């Protein structure tokens, strides 16, 4: 009689354990996750579009409040891709596609937008237009003051960085001018997009480059100049009147969480597209 009771209790405990194990696991988009596992999406990469990713994340969480979205400080495109391969990110934002070697490691990319590449000055500068020849003269050091005699404080980006490459590809004169600018002494070189915008924002007489999406989404107080009498905008980029831009890619890797796919789908939803357009993006998908 006692043995029977003992057997009954053992079976009951076994059943309870089985039930607990069963309900502690759930299937989400084909992946098996332990209950209580944090639902999070980690995003990082080029500083150009991190603020936009934060805006998209805030809107996404209105319908997915159980998912935490973390946008890391600027890592750069290559840094973001490296972090993605290391499992430290679920989504990398990049101005370039993964290289062939990176693709072989399981990365997949989607071009989601283009944004105008622009010339900017300190907010107190009232000059609204500049020509490409005038830009080359500034980089060459031929022009060192603004029309009101304020010294021009040129802000450079590192050699090989996306903004520098775009400048070099504008013309042969610009390529030589950029090369000459690195030979000049005393110029500021901004390491990332946030430092670049911050320097131009703070320094009277400053002149440099930027991305329309970053300026809008970060609410930067900068004077965005027309180039050759064409105002940079989503419209002028779309119709080809303004030819200079940065490509923007969303990249996922073999360790990206299944939740990343939900966020990417949201980016291309009507709500996500609306945010992109309002923040200076020409949506390409």
The string of pLDDT tens digits covering residues 48-73 is 999 999 999 999 999 999 999 999 99
Q: Show the 3-state SS of the chain.
A: CHHHHHHHHHHHHHHHHHHHHHHCEEEECCEEEECCCCCEEEEEECHHHHHHHHHHHHHHCCCCCCCEEEECCCCCHHHHHHHHHCCCCCEEEECCCCCHHHHCCCCEEEEEEEEEEEEEEECCCCCCEECHHHHHHHHHCCCCECCCCCECEEEECCCCCHHHHHHHCCCHHHHHHHHHHCCCCCCEECCCHHHHHHHHHHCCCEEEEEEHHHHHHCCCCEEEEEECCECCCHHHHHCCCCCCEEEEEEEECCCCCCHHHHHHHHHCCHHHHHHHHHCCCEECC
Write the pLDDT tens digit of every residue in 145-194: 999 999 999 999 999 999 999 999 999 999 999 999 999 999 999 999 99
Domain spans of the chain, in order of start: 37-114+247-283, 116-245
Give the number of other CB atoms < 10 A from CB of residue 133.
14
Q: Which CATH class is domain 37-114+247-283?
A: alpha beta
Q: Does domain 116-245 have CATH number 3.50.30.10?
A: no
**Per-residue pLDDT reduced to its tens digit, 225-281:** 999 999 999 999 999 999 999 999 999 998 888 899 999 999 999 999 999 999 999
Positive or negative: CA dihedral 59, 64, 68, 70? negative
Dihedral pair phi/psi, residue 147, rounded to 5°: -55, -25
The pTM for the full model equals 0.85
- Give residues with Cβ within 8 angstroms of 172, minimum separation 6: none
Spatial CA neighbour of 216 closest among 96, 75, 72, 120:
120
CA angle 187, 177, 218 (to 5 degrees): 55
CATH topology of 37-114+247-283 equal to that of 116-245?
A: yes
The reported pLDDT for the residue numbered 75 is: 96
């Amino acid at each position: 009689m006692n043995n029977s009771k003992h057997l009954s209790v053992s079976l009951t405990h076994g059943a309870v354990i089985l039930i607990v194990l069963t309900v502690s696991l759930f299937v989400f988009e084909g992946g098996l996750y332990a209950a209580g596992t944090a639902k999070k999406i980690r995003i990082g990469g080029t500083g150009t579009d991190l603020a936009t990713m934060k805006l998209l994340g805030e809107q996404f969480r209105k319908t997915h409040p159980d998912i935490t979205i973390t946008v890391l400080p600027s890592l750069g495109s290559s840094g973001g891709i490296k972090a993605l391969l290391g499992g430290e990110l679920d989504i990398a934002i990049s101005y370039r596609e993964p290289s062939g070697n990176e693709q072989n490691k399981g990365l997949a990319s989607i071009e989601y937008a283009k944004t105008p590449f622009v010339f900017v000055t300190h907010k107190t500068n009232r000059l609204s237009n500049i020509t490409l020849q005038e830009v080359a003269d500034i980089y060459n050091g031929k022009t060192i003051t603004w029309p009101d005699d304020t010294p021009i404080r040129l802000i450079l980006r590192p050699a090989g960085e996306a903004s520098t490459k775009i400048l070099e590809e504008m013309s042969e004169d610009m390529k030589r001018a950029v090369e000459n600018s690195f030979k000049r002494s005393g110029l500021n070189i901004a390491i990332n997009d946030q430092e670049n915008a911050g320097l131009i924002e703070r320094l009277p007489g400053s002149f440099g480059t930027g991305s329309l999406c970053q300026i809008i989404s970060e609410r930067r107080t900068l004077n965005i100049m027309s180039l050759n009498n064409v105002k940079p905008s989503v419209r002028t980029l779309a119709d080809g009147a303004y030819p200079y831009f940065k490509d923007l890619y969303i990249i996922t890797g073999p360790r990206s969480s299944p939740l990343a796919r939900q966020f990417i789908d949201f980016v291309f939803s009507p709500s996500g597209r609306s945010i992109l357009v309002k923040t200076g993006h020409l949506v390409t998908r």
